[in-house]
Amino acid sequence: MAYTAPPSPPGPVGSQYCVCKVELSICGQNLLDRDVTSKSDPFCVLFMEVNGKWVELDRTETAVNNLNPAFAKKFIIDYHFEEVQKLKFALFDQDKSSTQLYEHDFLGEFSCTLGTIVSSKKITRTLLLGNGKPAGKGMITIAAQELSDNRVITLSMAGRKLDKKDLFGKSDPFLEFYKPGDDGKWMLVHRTEVIKYTLDPVWKPFTVPLVSLCDGEMEKMIKVVVCYDYDSDGGHDFIGEFQTSVARLCEAQDTSPLELECINPKKQKKKKNYKNSGIIIVKSCKITRDFSFLDYILGGCQLMFTVGIDFTASNGNPQEPSSLHYINPLGTNEYLSAIWAVGQIIQDYDSDKMFPALGFGAQLPPDWKVSHEFAINFNPRNPFCSGVEGIVQAYSACLPHIRFYGPTNFSPIINHVARFAAQATQQETASQYFILLIITDGVISDMDETRHAVVQASKLPMSIIIVGVGNADFAAMEFLDGDSRVLRSHTGEEAVRDIVQFVPFRNFRNVPKETLAKAVLAELPQQVVQYFKHQNLPPINSEPA
């Protein structure tokens, strides 16, 4: 076995795209017994594939005399949805104090992607020896958990009878929230808006992450400073302050607000009969969870992947090298590259890995009628292909049997997937989200119908990825991708959210293939979360805040 020593230190790969950190817990069952006089002393080593080589990231502790270890040491990994993160878990029996793995007996290994683990939350698999055969009855169990506190706190606050500060008018008060920093000094966390000309302000409700406000510790003291006058000279003045905790703020209810005295220490020292500098009222305090993409995946949400392939005549005769559908001697073309780039990421998040693959813009046997929504395996009752490999095989097999024609109509395939997404909404759970990958070479013929289909689909658990192949003018695709403006249908109805991501393949011809996947999938986690939040649907197995 060829293993590479860890880089020093093992840094995160591609941290620009990092979504969050995942903690992996490892258990072994029925491990091989390599010791003669006692049981094996196993430890687990985690490797990640980097540029085609296995690089060691971390190791667990050694479990002495134990063939069924549950390791206390956890593996922590940066999780990147838009990357294929290949991991290998190798178990060894510690025989010496050496850090060199060849000095220890090999007990078996298991390889998979991080996506496979998080989409199942917990997996148990057979350990294999170097020759691919089972390592006796040895098994490994890997459980994933997101390492983040996703709680947020929403506060609704007001003031009453605050000290008057302006010489000729009333104060312009605002609040500042501080928490203790590592250096012992108070660190600013949040500032409310300024309320002009009042001693009885009512601030807009605001939401901040609980980690930001108090490091997630409900009993930790925080300081609230009441200021006034965001003066143009920058010197806003101090009205008073108080210290409290989130636990105390949580005592506020809609029916019984919490009142806290605002104290000015200088005035308190000077005036014997000083009472306070006003009252700050906590009208309500609510802690909820701000769920992430990984929360939904770990909760059991499946990503349902469908491919739509453009078989219009503008692609050229697939038998000729000039055609965009011509499969070159390396067995690929731009259509296949796009299918692989997106499919190999998405397939980890679909438990049965059966994907519908549809074509449009071709004439089909036996009557040679044009179709804009046909199964490329020619089985309309079962258009599913097994894994990305199945899509590739069906695509290659159908090319000689169809006639490229036209026009380029997107709406039938969008509406096809939208029907299934609409059915999924009847469950009223965050269990399925649909992704349609359309690969096309040119200008959309049914633009009005497509705009209408996208606007309707924006209300459903569905996203559309469009990859433009060849060198055509893709201005219409950019129009559908609502990054710069809200998409409207021809009737004027607005899309409720942006669900289209368009990229031209030509921008990715001379870069590593992983770059295309990052570009087309970059917005998808945000789109999934945005939809389920809009529907007030928590992850299926979520815990209360």
Residues 275-295, mean pLDDT to the nearest whole number: 94
Pick the CATH number of 20-147 from 2.60.40.150, 3.30.200.20, 3.40.50.720, 3.40.50.1100: 2.60.40.150
Q: Which CATH class is domain 151-289?
A: mainly beta
Cα-flanking dihedrals φ and ψ of residue 517, to 5°? Answer: -60, -40
Looking at the domain that runs over 301-509, which CATH code has it been given? 3.40.50.410
- Cα Rg of the chain (Å, integer): 30
- At residue 3, the pLDDT reads 40
- Residues 98, 104: contact at Cβ < 8 Å? yes
What tokens were used for 449?
């119908």
Confidence of residue 514 (pLDDT cuts 50, 70, 90): confident
Domain ranges, ordered by start, for the chain = 20-147, 151-289, 301-509
Given the DSSP bridges, would you call strands 105-113 and 221-228 parallel, antiparallel or unpaired?
Answer: unpaired
Residues 433-458, mean pLDDT to the nearest whole number: 95
Q: Is the pLDDT of residue 17 over 60?
A: no
Summarize pLDDT for 57-66 with one digit per residue, the tens.
999 999 999 9
- At residue 449, the pLDDT reads 96
Candidates 465, 463, 470; CA nearest to 505 is 470
Confidence of residue 485 (pLDDT cuts 50, 70, 90): confident
- Residues 197, 162: contact at Cβ < 8 Å? no
Summarize pLDDT for 196-219 with one digit per residue, the tens.
889 999 999 999 999 999 999 999
Confidence of residue 228 (pLDDT cuts 50, 70, 90): confident
Candidates 407, 420, 511; CA nearest to 450 is 407
Q: Is the pLDDT of residue 237 over 60?
A: yes
Alpha carbon distance 384, 410 (integer Å): 20
SS3 158: strand
What percent of the chain is predicted at pLDDT more than 90? 76
Which of the residue ranges 90-104, 156-170, 458-472 would you say has the lowest mean pLDDT? 156-170
Alpha carbon distance 517, 342 (integer Å): 5
Alpha carbon distance 516, 501 (integer Å): 12
Q: Is the pLDDT of residue 142 over 50?
A: yes
Q: Is the pLDDT of residue 231 over 70?
A: no
Say whether 301-509 and 20-147 share the same fold.
Answer: no
The residue count of the chain comes to: 545
Which of the residue ranges 88-92, 170-174, 230-234, 310-314 would you say has the lowest mean pLDDT? 230-234
pTM of the entire structure? 0.82
